[in-house]
Amino acid sequence: MLETIIDNAYEWLVVVNKDGMIDYMNKTYCEFLEVDRETVVGRHVTDVIENTRMHIVARSGNMELADLQYIRGNYMIANRVPIYQDDEIIGAVGTVIFRDTEQWKQMNTHIKVLLSELEYYRSGSSKENGASYSLYDIVGTSEPIRSLKEKVKQVASGNVSVLIRGESGTGKELFAHSIHQLSERSNRPFIKVNCGAIPDQLLESELFGYEEGAFTGAKKGGKLGKFELADKGTIFLDEIGDMPANMQVKLLRVLQDREVERVGSLRTKKVDVRIIAATNRPLEAMVEERRFREDLFYRINVIQLFIPALRERVQDVKPLAESFVRKISAKAGKRVIGIEDNAMQLLLQHNWPGNARELENALEASVHLTRTETVDVASLPDYLKENEGLVTGNRKLKDIVEKAECEAIRKTLIQCENDKLAAAKILGIGKTSLYDKINKYDLV
């Protein structure tokens, strides 16, 4: 009788153990999340409930009441209460009292202002100064991606520095956002700094701020730096391998002393900031070449996450492509419900040097170009269709490889405006070898 009452209760209810694994979820909550209760039990709560903090409450023992939680397109009101047995915390119970904001608005008209502000910051400012992504936004079924997600859950709760590595377009920023969202600092600022996009002469003032009158054009009253803005939160140093040598020294001092000094100031200020860095550069080689400080490398490389290229996890192409089509079609206001098999085959055959970002760009063009409710071969970018029919059952591997090599050289020569030295450098072969291949394939 008790289980029947709980299953049909108006509130949604979930119980987790001290490790954040789900022990129980009532029927109405499972129906809303569109999950099977039999498969939910035993899974980590972050795999099932969006933006949850149940695992944090189960670990910290700190009760959270009437907290706003964004789930599947709506703000909801959640309570999270730790469960104790013989003065030892053994888990937590969570309930969702109001299933959407409309019900809460009926109770208190003042909340309307708060919700509108929250929605503004979520859709606008949070994209600039906050974490906008979670593990739900990282799509992939391959073993490397599943393993990375598990590692994120393990390291998120600590304050250790994390270095995320991988080629451009693999999703390093999404993992950085996810670490912050699952950490104890999730309600604090998440500040992103692209170290490669800021001019060298401005990087110091951007990171550490400046005092009024510090230099010509300085704002009245001075300016807070990114580290001060990130105090008690997380700072994400993207493309840290592009940071100039003089700034590496100053960054190292901040990481060692946990204090910053504004440009033009004689005083320092303590900051409590977690460091997440990302790069696609070979930092170990740069250390050997003295282009990156060894002591700084070890400071940021406490825990390392490596995201493999998309070509190394081909099984992720299909779920990624389907996810991109849904997102792009909703944004574009078009009804595109899938990808035709022959078009998907071309996507699976492509090498994706630009990784997931290139795949998304290709599908964005396809969604806008398709004249049907599916992405077909005709709507794909031309460079993808050039490989149509490349892999067939009656061709020798040698012929397939030679055709691919010929196409790669031809496109690179066009890209480099027939500068053969530049083309050889891009292709990673010697100039003599390039000339031999040009003659072989009659590309003169």
What's the pLDDT tens digit per position in 40-80? 999 999 999 988 999 999 999 999 988 888 887 777 888 99
pLDDT of residue 116: 46
Write the pLDDT tens digit of every residue in 337-354.
Answer: 899 999 999 999 888 989
Domain 397-440 adopts which CATH fold? Arc Repressor Mutant, subunit A (1.10.10)
CATH, range 2-123 = 3.30.450.20
Residue 290, number of CB atoms within 10 A of its CB: 9
Those residues whose C-beta lies under 8 Å from the C-beta of residue 187, and which sit 6 or more positions away, are none
What integer pLDDT is reported at residue 7 of this predicted model? 65
pLDDT digits (tens, 9 = 90+) for 302-329: 999 999 999 999 999 999 999 999 999 9
pLDDT of residue 215: 74
**pLDDT over 90 at 298, yes or no:** yes
pLDDT at residue number 25: 92
State the CATH class of domain 135-306. alpha beta
pLDDT of residue 397: 62
Averaged pLDDT score across all residues of the chain:
84
Question: Where, residue-wise, is CATH 3.30.450.20 in the chain?
Answer: 2-123
pLDDT at 404: 79
| Range with the poorest average pLDDT among 96-100, 110-114, 202-206, 331-335 | 110-114
84-97: pLDDT as tens digits: 998 899 999 999 87
pLDDT at 326: 92
Ranges for all domains in the chain classified under CATH 1.10.10: 397-440
User: Counting every residue, how long is the chain?
Assistant: 444
- Contact between 207 and 251 under an 8 Å Cβ cutoff? The reply is yes
List, by residue range, all CATH 3.40.50.300 domains of the chain. Answer: 135-306
Which CATH code of 1.10.8.60, 3.40.50.300, 3.40.47.10, 3.40.109.10 fits the domain covering 312-385?
1.10.8.60
Token pair listed for 373? 């409710």
* pLDDT digit string, tens, across residues 104-140: 444 443 444 455 445 544 554 444 446 678 887 899 9
pLDDT above 70 as % of the chain: 87
Helix axis angle for 420-427 and 431-440, nearest 10°, is 100
What pLDDT sits at residue 101? 47
Q: Are strands 374-375 and 338-339 parallel, antiparallel or unpaired?
A: parallel
Indicate the helix (H) or strand (E) that contains 266: none
pTM for this entry: 0.62
What's the rounded Cα separation, in Å, for the pair 441 and 417? 18
| The pLDDT value given to residue 105 | 44
